[in-house]
Structure 1
Amino acid sequence: MLDQQAPCPRCRSVQTVPISWGMPTEEAEHDAAAGRVVLGGCLVGDGDPGTQCRACGHRFGAARS
């Protein structure tokens, strides 16, 4: 079960999902296709956002390590 995500600081929507960084696994690809996560990309860096709003596209918060 996914953790409850924080509301978007830009539009206040609660339609937010975690961002999955790094080379996606087959499970991550299935979760992305189902709208449970957003694939962030293969390059991981300090300060990458951890959440994306599905309503406005804003990325925010710290990524989990």
Structure 2
Amino acid sequence: MKSCPKCKSNMIIEMVYGLLSDEMSDAVGSNKIDLGASTIDPSSPEFKCRSCGEEFGGLGKFLNDEFIQDDL
């Protein structure tokens, strides 16, 4: 189970990107997912903490990895 890097809560939801379907709208309304932008980029977070609002995860963590930076 994931935990927040800031407050250590386990109340984590996924960030969703792109066009919103009716099913996704219902999930947002019940606080099961959160909306990101309509597009995604390497700095876009993958998760959000429902306790403190911290957004984290995603491709940015891989782009900051020394191994990947060496290969660029």
Residues 6-37 of structure 1 deviation map (CA, whole Å, 9 limit, x = unaligned) = 10000000111000011111111111101110
Q: Which moved more, 1:37-46 or 1:16-25?
A: 37-46
Q: Greater Rg, structure 1 or structure 2?
A: 2
Pick the structure with more strand per residue.
1
Matched, 1:32 2:28: yes
1:57 aligns with 2:24: no
Percent identity for Structure 1 against Structure 2: 25
Task: Report what 1:17 is aligned to.
Answer: 13
Aligned length: 59
Listed as ranges, the gaps of 5+ residues in structure 1 are: none
Gaps of 5+ in 2: 60-72
RMSD: 1.4
Ranges of 4+ aligned residues in structure 1 off by more than 4 Å: none
In the alignment, structure 1 residue 45 sits paired with structure 2 residue 41? yes
Instruction: Tell me the TM-score normalized by structure 1.
Output: 0.80
**Higher RCO (C-alpha under 8 Å, 6+ residues apart):** 1
Give the distance between the partners of 1:8 and 1:28, measured in 2 at CA.
23
Structure having the larger proportion of residues in helix: 2
